[in-house]
Amino acid sequence: MTTVTPTPLFHPTHLDALEAESVHIFREVAGEFERPTILFSGGKDSIVMLHLALKAFWPAPVPFSLLHVDTGHNFPEVIEYRDRVVAEHGLTLHVAHVQDFIDDGRLVERPDGTRNPLQTVPLLDAIERNRFDAVFGGGRRDEEKARAKERVFSLRDEFGAWDPRRQRPELWSLYNGKHAVGEHVRVFPLSNWTELDVWQYIEREKIELPEIYYAHERDVFARGGMWLTAGEWGGPKEHEPTERRMIRYRTVGDMSCTGAVDSDAVAIADVIAEIAASRLTERGATRADDKLSEAAMEDRKREGYF
Amino acid sequence: MTSTTEELTATSLLRFATAGSVDDGKSTLVGRLLHDSKSVLVDQLEAVKQASRRRGQESPDLALLTDGLRAEREQGITIDVAYRYFATPRRRFILADTPGHVQYTRNMVTGASTAELAVVLVDARNGVLEQTRRHAAVAALLRVPHVVLAVNKMDLVGYDEAVFAQITGEFTAYAARLGVNDIVTVPISALAGDNVVEPSTHMDWYTGPTLLEHLETVRVDTDPADAPARFPVQYVIRPQRGEFHDYRGYAGQLASGALRTGDTVTVLPSGRTGTISGIDVLGRSADIASVGQSVTLRLAEDLDISRGDLLAAGPPPRLTQDVEATVCHLHDRPLKAGDKVLLKHTTRTVRAVVKEIACRIDITAPIEEGGLDQHTDVQELRVNDIGKVLLRTAEPLALDDYRDNQRTGSFLLIDPADGTTRTAGMVGTTGLVTPDWPHHV
């Protein structure tokens, strides 16, 4: 025992408070649902989710499986990272392949080659086949207008769709996870985190990330105001010259629509300084799919997207 | 660059709510806070500028930063709360932005439930209105520790001190009746930027802080560590493998107080006692756990404890099947005596029946016109109504009064048929305004 101090008040930092809240959410789901899964893309938000889940149930294993929707256009560094983490913690990984759906005709490749919007169908199929009743997503409210109004527990109907009318008021830290058979609840434990919080937490907890998050030299070409990596998915086209640049990725998604930013940030402290100074949101800077229209995210969300 | 670097060091967090309608300029105020604290990023501002130009406006309409979703416009609904995030070198903020129209009370109750401070906005030209009183009452009911009255559109009343004084006088008197005494009042113009972030050059008579300055410096106390300890068990951790073969830990978030190794705790509802033999804070061993921390507790004794149980130390909570509470009804289907519901309290959900709707409280009329009167002749509570009810639960609950403990004093009523959240409840007989409670046997 330590010496007794008169009023040992706990002064949590914002990261302590966010961590405690997220852990509370993970444990609520473990207590109330039968078959939860964590959407795991190998992106930093899903990596932080997994880290929180590991801490929440220590020393027991995480009582959830992982689900990855593989567009077929993933960064090899990210897939390698994913498989290593799964093996290290003895986790169960489900993979839904967009390619399978294209091959058997349930999905049709888009003319622009972008596969992000195609993820919804395999995602919902995997949820239905595995009878997942709670699906953890790494979405944050600071990301986008449509996400700002998202609940921590977001009810989805049997088609995976989000109906704003059916969303329940969420008070205090009482989360209502009641749902009918066939419906499921999307759970967002990082709702109240900002991009900066996520990075500061990664630094504090010394969480390893796929190396593409840090500055490195890469052959890229310009499209739609972003640097894209050349790949089998259809780039660069003839009029798009490739050049070698020092870049890094702020988000990790489908290679066809995830852009890199010019950066010299080779270590996490550099990344944090860069983000703090950046005047563009991460989605604005690096996601072509969110530039599609003003309500792009809202539309995809209603259809059952992440 | 200096400010963004300093931003990194701000680790104190304030959760606050804004209440007011679009007409009061709330969206503009929120937009102004985000914009002037440099939390609006280039691409967001560019989108607002473009949308403003399309609508024929010359300068960017900051209200568009908090614009609704298309689904809301199409369906004519308002999603209750939108959350915004911004930071200054001094503090980080989570703002629950509650729309004033349509589901007004419901929205604000939701936003205020997690807020440490509420900003109530009034239009200087209109003064204290029905919805101002409603907002003050909700802040009082939810026991939001700090209330700020922001008198907006001062530019439209010639920055007149007398107008400001009249409104703050009326509001303060009403709030005092509600038991809210800690009120800060700020004259602002969200549109022109007066006293929101930068001090106004038009109101020399005002010497107080700007709104943001107040938000940055208001003291937010966590509950004292000597409050009675309450620990709702969320989940039992039993690895049953390797070196942790015999590990059995109770996972939860401390709702109040502090617990140390060696402390005796009472397990409720069983009433058995145990001794804390170990505290694990997310994988790290500790001697003490304090309010707000998510931890795992180990006990020396082998007790039958599961999710829904409460570990308590200090003055014990009430163990009862009869719940007297002040409620806010949230759903279109009214709440009536005889309704069967599920009552979700901390980590425990039990069946319950509404025994009686004791009264509905008028939170909109001025005092002299029946404001805060308790109407006992009502048969039901409708959406947005505040009232007092009596519930009977199928199993005993360990309850604290909401005024003593928000976390163990609050609950939801859920429809067992479709899972809808119908009502938000606050345990206690002395809720809003009068301590009188209809006498029950």
Give the count of domains, chain B. 3
pLDDT at B439 over 60: no
- Residue B4 confidence class, pLDDT cut points 50, 70, 90: very low
3-state secondary structure of A293: coil
Residues B297 and B382 in one domain: no
Q: Based on the domain organization, do B255 and B337 belong to the same domain?
A: no
Query: What pLDDT score was predicted for residue A283?
Result: 55
From B217, B242, B257, the end of a domain falls on B217
Q: How confident is the model at residue B71 (pLDDT cuts 50, 70, 90)?
A: low
Residue B27 lies in a domain: yes
For residue B34, is it within any domain? yes
| DSSP letters spanning B382-428 | -TT-EEEEEEEEEEEEEE--TTT-TTTSEEEEE-TTT--EEEEEEE-
**Nearest residue to B412 (alpha-carbon basis) of B435, B391, B438:** B391
Domain identity same for B180 and B104: yes
B198 CA: distance to closest CA in chain A (Å): 21
Q: Does B80 touch chain A (CB under 8 A)?
A: yes
B328 vs A297, which has greater pLDDT?
B328
Q: Is A94 touching B (CB cutoff 8 A)? A: no
ipTM of the complex model: 0.91
Q: Would you tell me which residues 37-66 of chain A have a C-beta closer than 8 angstroms to some C-beta of chain B?
A: 55-61
Predicted pLDDT of residue B420? 94
Question: Who among B7, B407, B421 is closest to A169 (CB)?
Answer: B421
pLDDT of residue B225: 66
Does residue A149 sit at the B interface (CB-CB below 8 Å)?
Answer: yes
Per-residue pLDDT band for B120 (boundaries 50, 70, 90) equals very high
Q: Which domain holds residue B11?
A: 2-217
Does B436 map to a domain?
no
- Mean pLDDT for the stretch of residues A147-158: 89
Best CA proximity match to B233, nearest among B244, B215, B249, B212: B249
Residue B441's contacts (CB-CB under 8 Å, 6 or more residues apart) are none
Q: Could you tell me if B234 and B113 lie in one domain? A: no
Cα–Cα distances (Å) from B165 to A205, B172, B187, B192, B318, in that order, read 51, 10, 10, 20, 45
Domain ranges of chain A: 14-196+297-303, 209-291
Mean pLDDT calculated for residue range B74-99? 80
Mean pLDDT across A233-244: 81
Residue B293 confidence class, pLDDT cut points 50, 70, 90: very high
Give all strands of the β-sheet with A153-156 in edge-to-edge order.
A93-97, A65-70, A36-39, A134-136, A184-187, A153-156
Residues B99 and B195 in one domain: yes
Q: Which fold has domain A14-196+297-303?
A: Rossmann fold (3.40.50)
- Nearest-Cα residue of chain B relative to residue A163: B71
Per residue in B336-350, pLDDT tens?
Answer: 999 999 999 999 999
For strand B92-98 and strand B13-19, is the pairing parallel, antiparallel, or unpaired?
parallel
**Which of A31-40, B80-89, B194-203 is predicted least confidently?**
B80-89
User: For position B158, what pLDDT does the model report?
Assistant: 97
**Stretch (H or E) spanning A154:** strand A153-156
Q: Is A30 on the interface with B (CB under 8 A)?
A: yes
Is position B247 within any domain?
A: yes
What was the pLDDT predicted at A3?
40
Q: Given B42, B71, B225, which is nearest A164 (Cβ)?
A: B71
When comparing pLDDT for B281 and A111, which is higher? B281
Answer whether A58 sits within 8 Å of B110, measured CB to CB.
Answer: no
Residues of chain B neighbouring A273 (CB-CB closer than 8 A): 5, 8
Chain A residue whose CA is closest to B346 = A174
For tokens 């405690």, the residue is A20
CB contact under 8 A, A278 and B252: no
Per-residue confidence (pLDDT) for residue A292, from 0 to 100 = 42
Confidence at residue A115, expressed as pLDDT on a 0 to 100 scale: 82
Rounded CA-CA distance A302/B263 in Å is: 49
B421 interface with A at CB cutoff 8 Å: yes
CB contact under 8 A, A7 and B225: yes
Task: Indicate if the pLDDT at residue A23 is higher than 50.
Answer: yes
Question: How high is the pLDDT of residue B181?
Answer: 78
Q: What is the mean pLDDT of residues B413-436?
A: 81
What is the per-residue pLDDT for A60? 96
Residues 156-215 on A with a CB inside 8 Å of B are: 164-165, 167-174, 176, 178-180, 191-192, 194, 196, 200
Residue range A142-170: average pLDDT? 85
Q: Helices B130-141 & B161-177, crossing angle to 10 degrees?
A: 50
A267/B contact by beta carbon, under 8 A: no
Nearest Cα of chain A lies from the Cα of B209 at a distance, in angstroms, of 24
A297 or B158, which is more confident? B158
Clarify whether residues B41 and B160 are in a common domain.
yes
Among B263, B280, B313, residue at a domain's last position: B313
| Number of CB atoms found within 10 A of residue B377's CB | 6
Mean pLDDT of chain B: 87
A275-289, B21-35, B243-257: segment of lowest average pLDDT: A275-289
Cα separation of B233 and B250, whole Å?
Answer: 6
Specify the 3-state DSSP secondary structure of A248.
strand
The number of beta carbons lying within 10 Å of the beta carbon of residue A135 is: 28
Q: Is residue B250 part of a domain?
A: yes
Selected residue with higher pLDDT from B32 and A63: A63
Q: Do residues B266 and B285 both lie within one domain?
A: yes
Percent of chain A at pLDDT exceeding 70: 86
Contact between A257 and A116 (Cβ < 8 Å): yes
pLDDT-derived band at A88 (thresholds 50, 70, 90) equals: very high
Tokens found for residue B398: 């360990």
Task: Check B412 against A171: CB less than 8 A apart.
Answer: yes
Same domain, B205 and B233: no
In tens, the pLDDT along B161-180 reads 999 999 999 999 999 888 88
Range list of β-strands (E), B306-365: 310-313, 318-329, 335-336, 340-345, 348-361
**B109 and B172: one domain?**
yes
User: How high is the pLDDT of residue A250?
Assistant: 83
Give me B419's structure tokens: 């899972």
Burial pattern A3-16, b for ≥16 Cβ within 10 A else e, equals eeeeeeebebebbb
**Distance set, CA B15 to CA A125, A299, B32, B343 (Å):** 38, 29, 18, 27
Q: What is the pLDDT of residue B104?
A: 73
Position B28 scores a pLDDT of: 83
Is residue A23 within 8 angstroms of chain B, CB to CB?
Answer: yes
Instruction: Give the residue from B293, B313, B333 where a domain finishes.
Output: B313
Q: What is the share, in percent, of chain B residues with pLDDT greater than 70?
A: 85
Question: Tens of pLDDT along A191-221?
Answer: 999 988 999 999 999 999 999 999 999 988 8
Percent of chain B with pLDDT over 90: 62
What's the confidence (pLDDT) of residue B441?
Answer: 31
Q: Residue B345 domain-assigned?
A: yes
Summarize pLDDT for A242-274 with one digit per residue, the tens: 899 999 988 887 777 788 888 999 999 998 888
Residue A214: per-residue pLDDT: 94
Interface of B with A in 258-287 (CB under 8 A): 258, 260-262, 280, 282-283, 287
Q: Cis before residue B438, ω within 30 degrees of 0?
A: no
Q: What is the CATH number of the domain that holds B290?
A: 2.40.30.10
In a domain? residue B131: yes
Q: Which of residues 206-265 of A touch B (CB under 8 A)?
A: none
Q: What's the pLDDT at A291?
A: 46
Residue B407: is its pLDDT beyond 60? Answer: yes
Q: Has residue B349 been placed in a domain?
A: yes
Compute the average pLDDT of residues B324-337: 95
Report pLDDT for A261: 86
Q: What CATH number does the domain containing B112 carry?
A: 3.40.50.300
Distance in Å from the first CA to the final CA of chain A: 46
Q: Does A291 touch chain B (CB under 8 A)?
A: no
Q: At B105, is the secondary structure helix, strand, or coil?
A: helix
